[in-house]
Amino acid sequence: MSTPTISSKLQIMGVINTTPDSFSDGGKFDTLEKAFAQAQQMITAGADILDIGGESTRPGSRAVDEPEELARTLPLISAIREISDIPISIDTNKASVMRAAVAAGANIINSIWALRLGDSLQVAAQLDVPVCLMHMQGTPDTMQQKPIYHDVVAEVLEFLQGRIDAALVAGIAPHNIIVDPGFGFGKTLEHNLLLLKSLSEFRKLGAQILVGMSRKGMIGAVLDKPADQRLYGSLSVAVIAAMQGADILRVHDVAETVDALAMVRALGQVAR
């Protein structure tokens, strides 16, 4: 077996969807009390970052207006800040939500649109926080209809390089750039598997790599299991990604992923 590239920064990002219609945990954390309890549980379980979202990205999900998105996310960010310094990422496409979330205590912007909407790129640059730039083919509504690539790995790499360049021109510091191949966003199972197999190639972009595969359809397609039975599949792909040098894993099952990654880290401690 070739020597794996294990990131010394390997971090676990726990997902908290405050939406009623997320694909895997829709409605489970749609009150402040439930979402806050989930945040506390993830912190205790060893999460390094919490990713808070107030709008589902699932195909066909309902668009959420700014006041509703703010009402779902800001009280939770403030409540977490009362008890913890854990880095908080805000998963949003709206520049106004980015601003308000950072003012409330969020420290990272997670953009599935790679800051391509409105003035989000300029606003993110002003806020001077780390940004996650994710690849997506199409839009959340249409992306899974017929994704087509000639060479998925090359095309996703090229897209992300373009977004890194745009971020740098806008004034985002190089150390604040995180890239994400966007598993499940405009990709067939084969595209997702090719990206996972080639993940180490993304290191050449010179940015931190974030991946989110937890409970996703690619796992369901291989295992033929619904979202609530994809834990072991999710842990397997987390380990594969970590062994290829991913820096941040976006997951729903923090405690279980902590154990799986402890084994990967142990491997990084021995040399031959």
Q: Cite the active site residues.
A: 216, 250
Residue for token pair 């199409």: 138
Q: Measured between alpha carbons, how far is 208 from 31 in angstroms, rounded to an integer?
A: 32
Provide the mask over 27-66, with x wherever binding to ligand 9MG is found by CB under 6 A and - wherever it is not.
--------------------------x---x---------
**At closest approach, how far in Å is the CB of 194 from ligand 9MG?**
16
Q: Is 7 in the site for ligand 9MG (CB under 6 A)?
A: no
Provide the mask over 181-220, with x wherever binding to ligand 9MG is found by CB under 6 A and - wherever it is not.
-xx--------------------------x-x--------
Q: Select from 99-107, 156-164, 178-186, 194-202 the region that touches ligand 9MG (CB under 6 A).
A: 178-186
**At closest approach, how far in Å is the CB of 269 from ligand 9MG?**
28
Q: Sign of torsion, CA 124 125 126 130?
A: positive
Cβ 241 vs Cβ 192: under 8 Å: no
Task: Tell me, letter by letter, the H, E, C secondary structure of 34-94.
Answer: HHHHHHHHHHHHCCCEEEEECCCCCCCCCCCCHHHHHHHHHHHHHHHHHHCCCCEEEECCC
Q: Measured between alpha carbons, how far is 70 from 234 in angstroms, rounded to an integer?
A: 30
Q: Which of 191, 215, 250, 252 binds ligand 9MG (CB under 6 A)?
A: 250
- Please count the other Cβ atoms lying within 10 Å of the Cβ belonging to residue 178: 21
| Residue whose Cβ sits closest to ligand 9MG | 212
3-state helix, strand, coil in the chain (%, to 5): 45, 15, 40
Q: Measured between alpha carbons, how far is 124 from 120 in angstroms, rounded to an integer?
A: 6
Q: Select from 150-158, 175-183, 198-206, 255-263 the region that touches ligand 9MG (CB under 6 A).
A: 175-183
The closest of 13, 25, 118, 134 to 66, measured between CA atoms, is 118
Pick between residue 125 and residue 241 the one whose CB is nearest to ligand 9MG: 241
**At closest approach, how far in Å is the CB of 70 from ligand 9MG?**
17
Pick between residue 110 and residue 144 the one whose CB is nearest to ligand 9MG: 110
Provide the mask over 84-103, with x wherever binding to ligand 9MG is found by CB under 6 A and - wherever it is not.
-------x------------
Q: Which two tokens stand for residue 235?
A: 């842990």
Pick between residue 100 and residue 160 the one whose CB is nearest to ligand 9MG: 160
Q: Measured between alpha carbons, how far is 146 from 106 in angstroms, rounded to an integer?
A: 35
Provide the mask over 123-142, with x wherever binding to ligand 9MG is found by CB under 6 A and - wherever it is not.
---------x-x--------
**At closest approach, how far in Å is the CB of 23 from ligand 9MG?**
9
Q: Which of 69, 180, 247, 253 binds ligand 9MG (CB under 6 A)?
A: 180
Q: Measured between alpha carbons, how far is 178 from 157 in angstroms, rounded to an integer?
A: 13
- Give the binding site for ligand 9MG (CB under 6 A): 53, 57, 91, 110, 112, 132, 134, 180, 182-183, 210, 212, 250
